[in-house]
Amino acid sequence: MIKRSKRDQRQGAIGLSAEAIAELNGRPTELAVAPHDPDSESAWMADGNCRLHPPATFFPSDGVGVDKARKICRDCPVMGRCLEYALEERIDHGVWGGCSERERRRILKSRRLETTSVTV
C-alpha cells in the first residue's frame, strides 16, 4: 500500500480519478471481473458487496455519498474484516467496513486511549 501525505490526499480528493485513489489505497477497482487469488491477504475483498458497485461510490465527497456507501456496507458479509483491514493499514481515505475516514480515526483514537489506560 502506498502511504500518502495529507497534502497528497487532498489533491487526490480533487485531482485523481476514483480508480487512481482506489489503487493507491489497495482496493481492487474491478473486483467483479478481476482474477482472484483465494490465498491472498486481500481475498476477502472478493466477497464484499462493493464488488458490484463503482469504486467511486466508496470515495464520496460529501455526507450523502458516505451514507450511500454505508448502506451498501451494512449487510456486507466481510464488513468486520474490511474495517479491521482499513484500520490496520491506516487507510485514511474512503468508506471501508461501513465507516468513514472520520469514524475510523475515532476508532483508532479510542483504541489508543484504551491501550494507554490499560498500561498505566
Q: Based on CB atoms, which residue is closest to ligand SF4, 48 or 60?
A: 48
| Alpha-carbon distance values, 73 to 4, 39, 111, 116 (Å) | 25, 23, 22, 31
Q: Based on CB atoms, which residue is closest to ligand SF4, 74 or 114?
A: 74
Which of 82, 91, 100, 104 is close enough to bind ligand SF4 by CB under 6 A?
82
d(CA 99, CA 76) in angstroms, rounded, equals 12
How many residues interact with ligand SF4 (rule CB under 6 A)? 13
Q: Based on CB atoms, which residue is closest to ligand SF4, 37 or 114?
A: 37
The 3-state DSSP class for residue 38 equals coil
* Residue type at 38 in one-letter notation: P
CB of 5 to ligand SF4, least distance (A): 23
Q: Given the rule CB under 6 A, which of 3-11, 14-22, 71-79, 100-108 is the region that contacts ligand SF4? A: 71-79
Segment 13 to 52, residues that bind ligand SF4, using CB under 6 A? 48-50
Q: Is 60 in the site for ligand SF4 (CB under 6 A)?
A: no
DSSP string covering 65-119, please? Answer: HHHHHHHHHHT-TTHHHHHHHHHHTT--SS-BTTB-HHHHHHHHHHHHHHHHHHH
* Residue type at 111 in one-letter notation: R
In the complex, which residues of this chain contact ligand SF4 (CB under 6 A)?
48-50, 58, 72-73, 76, 78-79, 82, 96-98
